[in-house]
Amino acid sequence: MESIAHLDPHNLCGNFAKAKELLSKATNVVVFTGAGMSAESGISTFRDPDTGAFWGKVDPTIFATMDGFQENPDIVWEWYMGLFEKMTSVKPNRGHELVAELQKKFNVTIITQNIDNLHERARVGNEKIIHLHGPGGIRCTNCDLVMPTDHLCTIMDKDFDPKVCISCGHPTRPDVVWFGEDLPKEPWQEAVAAMYDCDVCIVIGTSGQVEPAASLPALARTIISINTRAEDHARLAFDAITLTGKASEILSTLTE
Ligand code: OAD
Q: What is the pLDDT of residues 62-78, one digit of tens each?
A: 999 999 999 999 999 99
Q: What is the pLDDT of residue 1?
A: 46
Q: What is the C-alpha to C-alpha distance for residues 75 and 250, in angstroms, rounded to an integer? A: 38
Q: Which atom of ligand 1 is nearest to the CA of 35?
A: 26
Mutate to test the pocket of ligand 1, among 207, 216, 254 (most ligand atoms within 8 A of CB): 207
Q: Is 115 in the pocket of ligand 1 (CB under 6 A)?
A: no
pLDDT at 157 over 80: no
Mutate to test the pocket of ligand 1, among 61, 117, 118, 206 (most ligand atoms within 8 A of CB): 206
Q: Is 100 in the pocket of ligand 1 (CB under 6 A)?
A: no
Q: Is 206 in the pocket of ligand 1 (CB under 6 A)?
A: yes
Q: What is the pLDDT of residue 150?
A: 82
pLDDT at 5 over 70: no
How many CB atoms are closer than 10 A to CB 13? 10
Range 1-19 average pLDDT: 71
Q: One of 96, 119, 131, 133 is an active-site residue; which one?
A: 133
pLDDT at 143 over 70: yes
133 is catalytic: yes
For the stretch 181-221, pLDDT in tens is 999 999 999 999 999 999 999 999 999 999 999 999 999 99
Tell me the angle at which helices 12-24 and 247-255 cross, rounded to the nearest 10 degrees: 60
How confident is residue 137, by pLDDT bands cut at 50, 70 and 90? Answer: very high
Which residue has better confidence, 162 or 26?
Answer: 26
Backbone angles phi, psi at 126, to 5 degrees: -115, 30
Ligand 1 centroid to residue 163 C-alpha, Å? 28
Q: Is the dihedral of CA 226, 80, 174, 86 positive or negative?
A: negative
For the stretch 109-122, pLDDT in tens is 999 999 999 999 99
pLDDT at 12 over 80: no
Q: Is 51 in the pocket of ligand 1 (CB under 6 A)?
A: no
If you average pLDDT over every residue of the chain, what do you get?
92
Q: Is 209 in the pocket of ligand 1 (CB under 6 A)?
A: yes
Ligand 1 centroid to residue 37 C-alpha, Å? 8
Q: Is 40 in the pocket of ligand 1 (CB under 6 A)?
A: yes
Percent of the chain with pLDDT over 90: 80
Q: What is the pLDDT of residue 50?
A: 66
